[in-house]
Amino acid sequence: MFVPLDGHQTTLTKLAIADDSYYAALLGREGTDVAESHLDGKTHALVQLGSLVAIDATSPGYMWSVERARRSGATDDEIVGCLIAALPAVGVANVVAAAPKLALALGYDVTSALESDGLIDPE
């Protein structure tokens, strides 16, 4: 007996079987992934930031995601809050590694601030 799938079940099936056309549609045009996620733009952008923490992304990835989050209405406090939200899942080491990268994407240089306060030696 055939049981029709609900929306989330169809989505999970397409993701699980690596449906090339589905992935291509999600990655092909900005905004498609937001619509398919069923999240508002700001939440979607903040989830992406949390994901960057989990994968130990490079600084340029943070810059792009911070810009997207700001365009979606996220405040800098909400953006930094992604580190706090991710902490229990990804651990202290990932958050420590992510903090300076996220700070730079927000226009704040943690290292310079620590050096000017005498908390670390610049050499």
Residue 63 CA to residue 46 CA, distance in Å, equals 13
Q: What global pTM score does this model have?
A: 0.80
CATH code reported for the domain at 40-123:
1.20.1290
Residues near 94 by beta carbon (within 8 Å), at least 6 away in sequence? 53, 54, 56, 86
* Residue 53, pLDDT above cutoff 70: yes
User: Is the model more confident about 4 or about 52?
Assistant: 52
pLDDT digits (tens, 9 = 90+) for 86-120: 999 999 999 999 999 999 999 998 888 777 766 66
Segments of the chain assigned to CATH 1.20.1290: 40-123
Place of tokens 């045009």: 29
